[in-house]
């Protein structure tokens, strides 16, 4: 493994690919997004719902399913309670996509001027 000495002003370049989340059962494109919270989310400081009145859009864990596996609507996620389900649509499309790393990172040393 090559060790790179990094200095202030160096540039790291990464390549990422825009991808769609996949069904956690079969790997097909996801059409449902199921969110989960820790038990007693409003009073649990470890939960993202801690201290909030409206926790309908909070999530501590997420699972994705396709139409075929949507009947497993409330997947058993140990240590979490089901919170909500989003269906893929124009309104919620941003919830079904993410950037994933693709290829190696490159480093460019700062130019000495």
Read off the pLDDT of residues 36-93 as tens digits, 9 standing for 90 and up: 999 999 999 999 999 989 998 899 999 999 999 987 656 788 999 999 999 999 999 9
pTM of the model: 0.77
Q: Are 15 and 103 in contact (CB under 8 A)?
A: yes
Measured from the Cβ of residue 18, the count of other Cβ atoms closer than 10 Å reads 9
Across 19-23, 70-74, 92-96, least confident range: 70-74
Distant-in-sequence, close-in-space partners of 92: CB < 8 Å, separation ≥ 6: 33, 86
What is the C-alpha to C-alpha distance for residues 37 and 23, in angstroms, rounded to an integer? 20
Average pLDDT over residues 17-23: 96
Q: Are strands 61-65 and 32-37 parallel, antiparallel or unpaired?
A: antiparallel
């Amino acid at each position: 493994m090559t060790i790179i000495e990094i200095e202030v002003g160096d540039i790291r370049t990464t390549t990422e690919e825009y991808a769609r989340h996949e069904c956690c059962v079969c790997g097909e494109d996801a059409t449902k997004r199921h969110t989960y919270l820790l038990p007693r989310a409003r009073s649990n400081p470890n939960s993202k719902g801690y201290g909030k009145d409206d926790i309908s859009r909070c999530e501590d864990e997420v699972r994705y399913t396709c139409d075929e596996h949507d009947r497993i609507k409330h997947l058993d996620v140990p240590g979490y309670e089901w919170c909500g389900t989003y269906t893929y649509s124009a309104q919620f499309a941003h919830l079904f996509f993410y950037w994933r790393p693709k290829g190696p990172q490159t480093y460019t040393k700062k130019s000495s001027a």
